[in-house]
Amino acid sequence: MSLHVESFGSGSAPNLVLLHGWAMHSSVWCGVRDRLAEHFHLHLVDLPGHGFSPACAFDLQGNISGCMLESIAEILPESSTVCGWSLGGEIAIELALREPVQVKKLVLVSTTPCFIKRESWQWGMEASMLQLFAQNLKRDYKTTMKRFLTLQVNGGSDSASILSRLRKSLAERKEPDEAALEAGLQILLRSDLRDKLKNIRQPVLLLHGENDVITHPEAAKWMDGQLQESELIMLPHCGHAPFLSHPDQFIKGLMRLRNGVMA
């Protein structure tokens, strides 16, 4: 299976792979694409069953494995920085562990190692809330997605403008495959990557909005304490999509990682 990938910038520049979040596609990066392409060889990936990428035989048991991980690994350039947003960040963690030669650096944007609240993990969503969301999605996809997009920008400045841009970019491509949506929800519901973080050897940049209502900011702080080499940039007045609301700070953070000057 061949994923849809759009590349920008000079082939001699460092490779930067961008992985979008659940139910999205790679057009969400358009606001920072051209500026990033001045410094990186940029690769925008549509995850399986999203955007222009075909669906595959998804694992519906909540594992970030099988065709999803394999199809992305197949298109990874050599010596890449992999930047994942939200669910894309969880996928990026697994890629870094599976492909340490190809994945040289990691950027986790609005990412949590465990989306659901557990007895030993307080910075997650109640499982019942995500299950209700999944039921509503099947009953009324468009209304449920509108509410989800609103959550993405809550807590940030200029949220109305950002929401408008997010909706516009999302409408540029077809709706995600139903099985792809279900597979993503099962990952969010069941996946727990906390014990795996200590095995990541690559430098990791964590970018998180301090007002994020989808992935708790404390989750990013916890990851910063677990990773071997990391820097956390916590953005004030920022929700779940910092590359939309805070593009300057987002790009500045990636440039610090590129130049090896993380704190």
Beta carbons of 235 and 210 less than 8 angstroms apart: yes
CA atoms within 13 A on the CB side of 113: 24
Residue 11: what are its φ and ψ, rounded to 5°?
-65, -15
Q: Which domains does the chain have, with CATH numbers?
A: 5-258 (3.40.50.1820)
Among residues 212, 224, 230, 245, the one annotated as catalytic is 212
How far apart, in whole angstroms, are the C-alpha atoms of residue 159 and residue 164? 9
User: Could you tell me how many residues make up the chain?
Assistant: 263
**Rounded Cα gap, residues 78 and 99, in angstroms:** 10
Amino acid at 185: L
pLDDT at 61: 73
- 8 A C-beta contact, residue 116 and residue 189: yes
- Concerning whether 212 is annotated as a catalytic residue, the answer is yes
Is beta strand 80-85 parallel, antiparallel or unpaired with respect to 5-8?
unpaired
Q: pLDDT of the chain along its 263 residues, tens only?
A: 689 999 999 989 999 999 999 999 999 999 999 999 999 999 999 999 999 999 988 777 777 877 889 999 999 999 999 999 999 999 999 999 999 999 999 999 999 999 999 999 999 999 999 999 889 988 998 899 888 889 888 877 778 888 888 888 888 888 899 889 988 999 999 999 999 999 999 999 999 999 999 999 999 999 999 999 999 999 999 999 999 999 999 999 999 999 987 65
Pairing of strands 204-209, 230-235: parallel
Q: Which residues contact 242 (CB under 8 A, 6 or more apart)?
A: 109, 110, 207, 208, 209, 235, 249, 250
86, 169, 191, 230: which is the annotated catalytic residue? 86
Q: From CA 113, how far away is CA 242, in angstroms rounded?
A: 18
Task: Reply yes or no on whether 224 is catalytic.
Answer: no
Reading the block at residue 172, the tokens are 């540029």
- Using CA atoms, how far apart are residues 217 and 240, in angstroms rounded to an integer? 10
> Is 41 annotated in the active site?
no
The Cα 120–Cα 148 span in angstroms is 27
Q: Give the contacts of 6 (CB within 8 A, at least 6 positions apart).
A: 26, 43, 44
pLDDT of 160: 86
Non-local (6+) Cβ contacts of 119 within 8 A are none
Annotated catalytic residue, options 27, 240, 245, 246: 240
d(CA 60, CA 4): 22
